[in-house]
Amino acid sequence: MLSRIFLRLGASCGLVGMALGVYMAASHDHVLAPVHAHVNLIGWVGMFLAGLFYAQRPDAAGGKLARAHLAFTVAGLLILAPGLAGVLLGYPFGELMAALGSILTIAAMALFVVVVFRSEANPVLPSDHRPAHHG
Ligand code: HEM
Ligand code: HEM
């Protein structure tokens, strides 16, 4: 479930990030490149990787830390991306939002570090991929 949410959000961020990339390319206005970079890298790459990790390690996906990782990641990017845009476009709210978004995003990463370190070393394989028992 957690895995599915991360995968869906990651793919969606990829679409949003690329749409911004196409817009920048078409308009020849690259001022929002860092927003595009972080929606793609924290959103598409980071969230999708987290989704793949949780799909592979269901033992890690059930706990409170993993749910907090999801919540902090989503809140972080939702605040960081417009904050960064605000900084780049010179709006007064930008810096405060970017700072808050940064703190949430790095806190999410710290939670993920704990989740990864705590997770079982051996991934749980789907039943049809388990080695057959002979005898
Ligand atoms: C349809 C797909 C995409 C288009 C049209 C696109 C377009 C662009 C454009 C126009 C820039 C600004 C370049 C500049 O000003 O130097 C840019 C920067 C960037 N893009 Fe994309 N992009 C796409 C997909 C992606 C994806 C999938 C990722 C990452 C997974 C990505 C990562 C970046 C990064 C990190 C930068 C900043 C590079 C820098 O400032 O040095 N882009 N992109
Ligand atoms: C707490 C999380 C993060 C914060 C607060 C942050 C902040 C920043 C800032 C302030 C810049 C400079 C932007 C500018 O020149 O205007 C930057 C550039 C960049 N960051 Fe991040 N970053 C974070 C996470 C990441 C992650 C996880 C990745 C990659 C997986 C990444 C990749 C990049 C890249 C490729 C650039 C150069 C892109 C460009 O200048 O357009 N960042 N970041």
pLDDT tens digits, 66-81: 999 999 999 999 999 9
Calculate what percentage of the chain has a pLDDT beyond 70.
89
CA of 132 to the centre of ligand 2 (A): 47
Contact residues for 117 (Cβ-Cβ < 8 A; gap 6+) = none
Q: What is the mean pLDDT of residues 84-90?
A: 98
Longest dimension (CA), the chain: 71
Q: Tell me which DSSP letter residue 29 carries.
A: -
CA quadruple 69, 48, 8, 18: dihedral positive or negative? positive
Residue of minimum CA distance from atom 21 in ligand 1: 21
Q: Is 53 in the pocket of ligand 1 (CB under 6 A)?
A: no
- pLDDT band of 120, cuts 50, 70, 90: confident
Residue of minimum CA distance from atom 15 in ligand 1: 30
The per-residue pLDDT of the chain, averaged, comes to: 93
